[in-house]
Amino acid sequence: MAHIVKRSYKYRFYPTSRQAEELTRTFGCVRLVYNRALEERTRAYRQEGRKSSYAQTSAALTQWKRTEELRFLNEVSCVPLQQTLRHLQAAFTHFYAKRADYPVFKSRKRSRASAEYTRSAFRWRDGTLTLAKMHAPLDIVWSRPLPDGAEPSTVTVSRDAAGRWFVSILIEEKISPLAPTGAMVGVDLGITTLATLSTGEKIANPRHERTDHRKLAKAQRALARKAAGSANRAKARLVVARIKARITDRRRDHLHKVTTRLVHENQVIALEDLAIRNMVKNRSLARAISDAGWRELRSMLEYKAAWYGRHVLVVDRWFPSSKRCSVCGSLTTTMALGVRNWVCGCGAVHDRDVNAAINILAAGLAERRNACGAGVRPQGEPLSGRRPAMKQEPLGRPRELPCLPYRENAKPA
């Protein structure tokens, strides 16, 4: 049965000089309002012991606009400014619920420049998009069509570090589940091989970062030689950003192709819950692990499976998938990481990764059966005799509140 989901379509666009100037000014105002509101909420909590609400920060924004210092906030659309206050409210909600750390200030250099427009702040007509305070529609490159009859509810405009402009259009789309299939697969993620399937197939790891590593290192050395604040340094920073953007785009494209294929071909997909945050602390493997994109691969599998009526089973990270024989079930006490093939006492010859994928699938199906028809084991429910599994790495104790005061008085560029 088809169901309605919220889905965003991201496109690149090329603004005119006037549009770029207007959007750049909007980005600066959004950042300033977010930081001001965060500063005020932090001060109220530290000095007065009270929690501020969205309504209070929204009223404060109205007062800021009336001051001589911040009168320029009236020059941009008010909707992105209100939306950034809603984002701050969501950040505090997650913090108080101990799901995230304390919100931090947005940096002019390190934060992604973006602005969110709701339905009242843009015009969608005949396939053209015009934002508030603009007279001409955006020159969007429609790399793929929107669904017929799509009506955007939210539009987010952003500019990445490489200077590219993007617009993300959020719509409600009706998605029909794929036809059921009896195929099931276990997936063992790795570095040399991105994914090894329980069927014996191995999906290669393109290692996009390693391919462009020499070019990236050369560009970064050139950047380091430029004088701080100079125009040449800004140009060199742009070269580095473009190389990184190319790496990221190629990696994401490959992961999309792999995950889409797995979801279309299999009804059940089992994979291991990896503690990636801890694994990247290994200085010898951190670069390779980050380049593989395991976290993004799992995220893609989960939301695509939810769209198309598939099931993703997550096996506890402490399950000994590599050391257990998939034929007789016996467990090897120790196994060095360099051992890629091994022979069990029962005579079975195993490829380490294929054996692990088979065990991951078996463990995932066993946990699902033990749930007695309740579906996949809830996140956080422990395996018998083992530490609890976690869908995400623990967030740890919230950080202390930042030091005050923070001040950004300058008018955004």
The pLDDT tens digits for 313-348 are: 999 888 888 888 888 888 887 888 888 888 888 888
* pLDDT higher than 60, residue 185: yes
In a domain, 282, yes or no: yes
Six token digits for residue 87:
């984002």
Six token digits for residue 322:
């590599």
Residue-level pLDDT at 259: 96
Contact 344, 331 (CB under 8 A): no
Residue-level pLDDT at 390: 36
Q: Residue 96's beta-bridge partner residues? A: none
User: Domain check: are 166 and 191 in the same one?
Assistant: no
Terminal Cα distance for the chain, rounded:
50
The pLDDT tens digits for 340-382 are: 888 888 888 888 899 999 999 999 998 887 764 544 443 334 3
* pLDDT higher than 70, residue 26: yes
Say which DSSP state 44 is in: I
In a domain, 379, yes or no: no
The residues assigned a catalytic role are 188, 272, 353
Contact 82, 58 (CB under 8 A): yes
User: Domain check: are 264 and 151 in the same one?
Assistant: no
User: Domain check: are 216 and 196 in the same one?
Assistant: yes
The pLDDT tens digits for 135-176 are: 999 999 999 999 888 899 999 999 999 999 999 999 999 999
* pLDDT higher than 60, residue 235: yes
Question: Residues of the chain with pLDDT > 90: what percent?
Answer: 66
Among residues 155, 165, 150, 112, the alpha carbon closest in space to that of 130 is found at 155
- Phi and psi of 272, rounded to 5°? -90, 145
Contact 14, 141 (CB under 8 A): yes
Average pLDDT, the chain: 87
* pLDDT higher than 50, residue 410: no
Residue-level pLDDT at 377: 41
User: Domain check: are 16 and 69 in the same one?
Assistant: yes
Q: How far is Cα 24 from Cα 383, in angstroms, rounded to an integer?
A: 51
Residue-level pLDDT at 104: 94
Chain center to CA of 345: 44
Residue-level pLDDT at 28: 95
The pLDDT tens digits for 99-136 are: 999 999 999 887 789 999 999 999 999 889 999 999 99
141, 175, 209: which is the final residue of a domain?
175
In a domain, 249, yes or no: yes
Q: Residue 118's beta-bridge partner residues? A: 154
Q: Residue 314's beta-bridge partner residues? A: 271
Q: How confident is the model at residue 411 (pLDDT cuts 50, 70, 90)?
A: low
User: Domain check: are 136 and 200 in the same one?
Assistant: no
Q: What angle do CA 398, 403, 404 make, to 5 degrees?
A: 135
The pLDDT tens digits for 203-224 are: 999 999 988 999 999 999 999 9
Residue-level pLDDT at 412: 53
Q: How many domains does the chain contain in total?
A: 2
Contact 262, 201 (CB under 8 A): no
User: Domain check: are 236 and 136 in the same one?
Assistant: no
Q: At what angle do helices 294-308 and 231-265 cross, to 10 degrees?
A: 50
In a domain, 291, yes or no: yes
Contact 2, 113 (CB under 8 A): no
Q: How far is Cα 246 from Cα 254, in angstroms, rounded to an integer?
A: 12
In a domain, 37, yes or no: yes
This prediction's pTM:
0.82
Beta strands in 132-257 (DSSP E): 140-141, 154-159, 165-175, 184-189, 193-197, 202-204
In a domain, 405, yes or no: no
In a domain, 325, yes or no: yes
Express the helix, strand and coil content of the chain in percent, nearest 5 each. Answer: 40, 20, 40
* pLDDT higher than 60, residue 405: no
User: Domain check: are 166 and 209 in the same one?
Assistant: no
User: Domain check: are 108 and 146 in the same one?
Assistant: yes
The phi-psi region of residue 44 (left if phi > 0; otherwise alpha if psi is between -120 and 50; otherwise beta) is: alpha
* pLDDT higher than 80, residue 388: no
Q: Residues 304-308: what's their mean pLDDT? A: 94
Enclosing domain of residue 101: 3-175
Q: Residues 45-58: what's their mean pLDDT? A: 90
Contact 411, 72 (CB under 8 A): yes
Q: How far is Cα 114 from Cα 91, in angstroms, rounded to an integer?
A: 17
Residue-level pLDDT at 396: 39
Exposed e or buried b per residue across 98-137, where buried means at least 16 C-beta atoms within 10 angstroms of its C-beta: eeeebbeebeeeeeebbbbbbeebbebeeeebebbebeeb
Residue-level pLDDT at 336: 82
Residue-level pLDDT at 367: 82
User: Domain check: are 116 and 139 in the same one?
Assistant: yes
In this structure, how many other beta carbons lie within 10 angstroms of the beta carbon of residue 56?
A: 16
User: Domain check: are 239 and 269 in the same one?
Assistant: yes
User: Domain check: are 161 and 232 in the same one?
Assistant: no
Q: How far is Cα 62 from Cα 60, in angstroms, rounded to an integer?
A: 5
User: Domain check: are 188 and 292 in the same one?
Assistant: yes
Say which DSSP state 119 is in: G
175, 193, 222: which is the final residue of a domain?
175
Q: How far is Cα 269 from Cα 181, in angstroms, rounded to an integer?
A: 12
Residue-level pLDDT at 282: 87
Residue-level pLDDT at 81: 97
In a domain, 203, yes or no: yes
Number of helices and strands (H, E) in the chain? 10, 14
411 vs 49, higher pLDDT: 49
175, 206, 233: which is the final residue of a domain?
175
